[in-house]
């Protein structure tokens, strides 16, 4: 049985083992945490999930290679002409 963690109007993403759905806020937190080098153990604890769930979702995100949102510099500084 899948337990949803979705929010009103928000999309959920199901993991392959269907332990629990991932809501958009949790996915954003996970992606940001991975970029910053936060440990899977900390992310799992913060999201009240197992380390295996976090690792599986992180691997799924890496395989999907999600595109960057337009207008974002990807964390890099943009040098201006002034």
Contact yes or no for 30/16 (Cβ under 8 A): no
The residue extents of the domains of the chain are: 1-6+24-65
pLDDT at 73 over 70: no
Angstrom distance (rounded) from CA 71 to CA 20: 32
| C-beta neighbour count of 30 within 10 angstroms | 22
Mean of pLDDT over the chain: 74
Report the predicted TM-score, pTM, of the whole model to 2 decimal places.
Answer: 0.56
Determine what percent of the chain is predicted with pLDDT higher than 90.
46
pLDDT at 26 over 90: yes
Which residue's structure tokens are 């040098």?
79
């Amino acid at each position: 049985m899948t337990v949803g963690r979705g929010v009103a109007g928000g999309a959920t993403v199901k993991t392959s083992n269907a332990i629990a759905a991932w809501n958009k806020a949790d996915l954003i937190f996970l992606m940001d945490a991975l970029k910053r080098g936060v440990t899977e153990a900390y992310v799992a604890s913060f999201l009240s999930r197992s380390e295996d769930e976090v690792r599986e979702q992180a691997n799924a995100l890496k395989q999907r290679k999600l595109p960057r949102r337009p207008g974002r510099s990807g964390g890099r500084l943009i040098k201006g002409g002034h």
